[in-house]
Amino acid sequence: MTLIRQLYTHFQVLSIDVVLGCVVNTLLIAKYCNVIVPNTVLCALASATWLIYTADHLADATKLKEKASSDRHLFHFKYRKALIIFSFILLIINILNLFYLPILIIKAGFYLSLGVLVYFFFLRLASGQPSLFKEISIAFIYAVAIFLAPAVLSTKIWNTATYLLFVSYFLLALINLLEFSLFDLALDEKEQYSSLIRKLGKSKSKKVIGSLIYISFLWLMAGTIYLYYNDFTNFSFFHQIQICLFFMNVVLATLLLFPSYFVKNNRYRVFGDMVFLFPVFLF
């Protein structure tokens, strides 16, 4: 059991669960759009997601250095050289993979990469100044990454239903990030790490997250009702996705309601990241 727990801890620290969640949800949107995403595109998506998250964690760990106390920051600081080398190798593989990607995917990926670079630029510019920019940016990039390949490969994706799903994923990702930051508040204070949650305080942060969860539930309900009464042709599968998103919201709401239980052994990370794997039940 100890070995399994250690392996899972490394699994989380290396953001592999995030990568899997991104791939699974991309496949779900692709199924909804009735398109097939090539394996080369999925590999590019997985590696790019991992590189972005790893770069972000390495930046935080390097800034904190010996002051780091969380498992994630300690791991990335201790093995920063190995992670940088591996990231460089993965980047080269990604460049070689470009020859096997559809030209439209390459163009879309280029624009997304520019957006990521802009994110890191402004993040560095606002270093030490906690704001909602980081969480909103990461949530938006995550949602865009999920929809990127299906949107490019399908000509019929951008309808009302797709926008509804996109916003739902954005809200889920934002809630997830803010909840994790809330659970990590003690660590952030120990590391003197600037975060929005630390600036707002625990009480106000809970209200903000609670409001976002409430908005997310309302968005799901409003979207379902709207499409039901507007003769949406693919309502059946859309409805299944909405039910899945509903239970994903329920889990995130549960984390907020019972913090004392989920803070033990980092259960909040297990359940918080696990929700993005729920769509596997729709395949």
57 versus 172: which is more confidently predicted? 172
Average pLDDT of span 11-24: 89
Cα–Cα distance, 104 to 97 (Å, whole number):
14
Q: Which is nearest to 255 in space by CA: 281, 274, 278?
A: 274
- Percent of the chain whose predicted confidence (pLDDT) is above 90: 33
Residue 13 has pLDDT above 90, yes or no: no
Residue for token pair 């600037």: 194
The 10s digit of each residue's pLDDT in 128-152 is 555 567 788 888 888 999 999 998 8
Provide the pLDDT confidence category of residue 62 given band limits of 50, 70 and 90: confident
Residue 247 has pLDDT above 90, yes or no: yes
For residue 263, give both structure tokens: 């803070």
Provide the pLDDT confidence category of residue 6 given band limits of 50, 70 and 90: confident
pLDDT at 210: 94
The 10s digit of each residue's pLDDT in 26-44 is 999 999 888 899 999 999 9
CATH architecture assigned to 2-282 = Orthogonal Bundle (1.10)
Candidate from 91-100, 103-112, 223-232 with smallest mean pLDDT: 223-232
**Every domain of the chain and the residues it spans:** 2-282
Q: At what angle do helices 80-97 and 39-64 cross, to 10 degrees?
A: 150
Residue 124 has pLDDT above 80, yes or no: no
* CA of residue 252 relative to chain centroid, distance: 13
Return the H-helix or E-strand segment holding 279: none
Q: Which is nearest to 72 in space by CA: 91, 85, 59?
A: 59
The 10s digit of each residue's pLDDT in 147-171 is 999 988 887 667 788 888 999 999 9
